[in-house]
Amino acid sequence: MERDPQTARRLRELQTGADPGAILAFFDALPPVTVAEMSGSWRGAGIPTGHPLDGLLEPLGWHGKRFDGPEDVFPLVFSSAVGLFAVNPAPVPLRAVLRLAPALRRSGLLHRIRPLLRLLRTRHARARLRMTEYRGVSSATMIYDSLPANDVFRRVDANTVLGCMDLRGTRAPYFFVLRRG
């Protein structure tokens, strides 16, 4: 699929900060992605929408996601001075993180937590890919093994997808972009 300049421009605009309704409308207009198209390593970046997770992953060194196959997904890949490593999200107290997110962002604590992420390092896949229906469209979806969340993907172009994390207990989804590479 060729890159549509108008779609790419709209995504760049949304990445500077978006109303949840505007990004949902953009997401809904994008075509679905197949499981096979998600194969490989992807760099990630959050899209600010006012979600509690906005701005939490980047200070921790979030690199993106890795899809080795439908059964072998590494949902959280981080970078460090010694390279990339996958993190097991199971021990992360997600409810507490969501509740404490504003304080975590303000305090600078995230930079102090970053070195501790290596304690959660894993060599085992912690998610899988399936086609699921979300908002009336069947598209590739990453299903976490241990979190009440699904990341649904829609295609921006052959090397860019928009991710929508549907997380139980939150009013609106968390959005992020993944770029191949």
- Model confidence pLDDT, tens digit, residues 67-102: 999 999 999 999 998 899 999 999 988 889 999 998
Rg (CA), the chain: 16
Task: Give the pLDDT confidence score for residue 3 in this predicted structure.
Answer: 66
The answer to whether the beta carbons of residues 133 and 152 sit under 8 Å apart is no
Distance between CA atoms of 135 and 47, rounded to whole angstroms? 19
The answer to whether the beta carbons of residues 127 and 74 sit under 8 Å apart is yes
- pLDDT tens-digit series, residues 127-165: 999 999 999 999 999 999 999 999 999 999 999 999 999
The answer to whether the beta carbons of residues 129 and 73 sit under 8 Å apart is yes
Return left, alpha or beta for 52; rule: phi > 0 is left, psi -120 to 50 is alpha, else beta.
alpha
pLDDT band at 23 (very low <50, low <70, confident <90, very high): very high
